[in-house]
Structure 1
């Protein structure tokens, strides 16, 4: 058996057999619409807003995945920015006074899935919330926004899946696009990669590059406009079989254990709720150079981290993006795996080569 940590999910065949609450049936419990991805859900919503509700502009936070924003720019709508990011200590709702018009949509992000609820004092503007990093947070489940979206594959072991719902019970748009052949190709290519990765990790006759090529090719299809379309039926069944309570319990347990095992002071990122479960363990370093060296050190030991998100347009955003790493501690890992991650970070901290760097880092929950 091969042990690797992080990166794309492999196929977890045991998920349908795990008893527990189901996401769509037991957690969401309201009208919803499934899309191929979070970005296609957002695109469908904004397209409907332009054509039927008179939307003329949408306001995004400065710190976000700009690949998604570029995808939305294909629509005939002005894209504006406001100040927000995981580095912002207090969410400033007063900045939206100039945007509070009926032709404006404001997009709000729960960074890493455990921020405090962000309240907008707007009367006319439409509020859209992104709960990708924790679709079952208290904020998500008790939201009072006009609309909410989530890209489910970021937290669930599925090849694709985007969710759109309206806490205010507003009418959801028709799922635009019907490129079933292209959509199915992307979905089942990603699923094939997940299955091959599972076989690789189990010691099967699969080369790592076999599934990596499929992951890379399917990921490139996400920026294609033809990806607008309904999620395949098998995708719906996979989402409904995801044992959400097991995902939450495992991640909570793993984060707690990792915190206990690492002999480094933990600090919280601004605005975090300590009773929520973040997307993963976030390590903040003093510089991009130090971050990149730590990332390479971990990768050499089969621990693959993520950066959310590179290529930020503002100096403050770049400073945060260039310093952060995200370690995955989800349902794929048990106590032995977490102990290995902790031991690897401890070795980094105790190494003469890296000792000065780790002292300039903070590890955040």
Structure 2
């Protein structure tokens, strides 16, 4: 049975010959590559950040937060509500913090927060890990992100609109080779040999590779950079939007959806929805080879109930129907 979610393997049908327009556009924003998103975050806050404090969302993963703490920056949290928009009350009360870190959750933009920040004259740092494909106006704002949440690459982080000139840096292989090995074994398991030992191996290698990720100044692997440069982002955008809309077509699922519509600028990273007994739902879906990740486990109450359904471009209409049927069956038992 086809695996949905988990480690993504590169589908060469999504590779173009030559550099894509998307890659060329990124290059216009003074792009700097890193081996990971957390390394890109650390580099900016350590070497370019011009203040002592930053507003930061209270719905986060530690991989986002730790590099900022390591750089010695003070964190002032603002609340993210259940619809994934910010409560700007604390932002209005504290006047001496001039920078704000905005995460485009699941690829969607909190326009109200952006307008608020710009009216206050705040400097914005956009985390584009989920909105790399979305067509928002980033202007000259700082943009940071990991490439692994949207692209089937083993490593990679980016910093856009950096004020520092990049220098030649060594490429990192500490976790990239393990991650690539895990992806290959997952492909073998799914396509050629559904042996339990192969499954255990790809899961083990994937977990080991995550532990190997270090915060450093090293460059992205040449393998991942070449994939990014040739990846068919235009087609990926269309298919992700199509898959998201298919999930919304289910009345049962739409009732639980965090975001119930899709504007023309947004390209979703995943489909966020709320369920009771979230971890139990994950286990039931996993039995049907549907792996729905929890992207952030923080103190915010959202993290206890939210689940992210994959809408990756390699999933076909029949794959999405299988997801819909699996979720609908679970949700009916919750009523």
Short-chain TM bin: 0.7 to 0.9
Structure 2 residue aligned with 1:147, among 142, 149, 162?
142
Q: Secondary structure at the match of 1:229?
A: coil
Q: CA deviation at 1:337?
A: 0.9
Q: How far is the alpha carbon of 1:87 from its aligned partner?
A: 3.6
Q: CA deviation at 1:216?
A: 0.7
Q: Residue deviations 1:288-335, cap 9 Å, x none?
A: xx222221111111111111211x23xxx12x1111111102122111
Partner residue in 2 for 1:362: none
- Is 1:217 matched with 2:208? yes
Match of 2:292 among 301, 305, 316: 305
RMSD between aligned alpha carbons? 2.9
Whether 2:127 is the aligned partner of 1:130: answer: yes
Query: Which of 48, 53, 75 is the equivalent residue of 1:57?
Result: 53
What is the DSSP-based 3-state SS (H/G/I as helix, E as strand, rest coil) of the residue aligned with 1:342?
A: helix
**Alpha-carbon spacing, 1:268–1:305, altered in 2? closer, same or farther (3 Å):** closer
> Hey, what does 2:304 align to over in structure 1?
322
Q: Which residue of 1 aligns with 2:160?
A: 165
The answer on whether the counterparts of 2:256 and 2:273 sit within 8 Å (CA) in structure 1 is no
Counterpart of 2:42 in structure 1 is: 43
Distance 1:83 1:11, change over 3 A: same
The 8 Å contact of residues 59 and 80 in structure 1, kept in 2 or not, is answered as yes
Q: Secondary structure at the match of 1:5?
A: coil
Q: Which of 58, 82, 102 is matched with 1:108 structurally?
A: 102
TM-score normalised according to structure 1 size:
0.80
User: What is the number of equivalent residue pairs in this alignment?
Assistant: 329
Separation in 1, partners of 2:311, 2:118: 36
- Mark the CA change 1:130 to 1:265 in structure 2 (over 3 Å): closer, same or farther: closer
Say yes or no: does 1:280 pair with 2:270: yes
Deviation at 1:86, TM superposition (A): 5.1
Aligned counterparts of 2:148 and 2:294: Cα–Cα separation in 1? 16
Counterpart among 245, 250, 254 of residue 256 in structure 1: 245
Q: Gaps (5+ residues) in structure 2?
A: none
TM-score by length of 2: 0.86
* CA deviation vs aligned residue, 1:261-291 (integer Å, no higher than 9, x gap): 5655446536975332322122202x4xx22
> Is contact 2:78–2:90 with CA below 8 Å preserved after alignment?
no
| Alpha-carbon separation, structure 1, partners of 2:69 and 2:86 | 29
- Residue aligning to 1:337: 319
Shift of 1:18: 7.7
Q: Distance in 2 between matches of 1:80 and 1:254?
A: 36
Kindly state the Cα deviation for residue 199 of structure 1 after the two structures are TM-superposed.
1.8
The superposition leaves residues 212-242 of structure 1 with CA deviations (integer Å, 9 ceiling, x where unpaired) of: 11111111122x33x4311122221111121
- Distance in 2, matches of 1:122 and 1:43, equals 27
Match of 1:194 among 183, 198, 203: 183
User: SS of 1:282's equivalent?
Assistant: strand
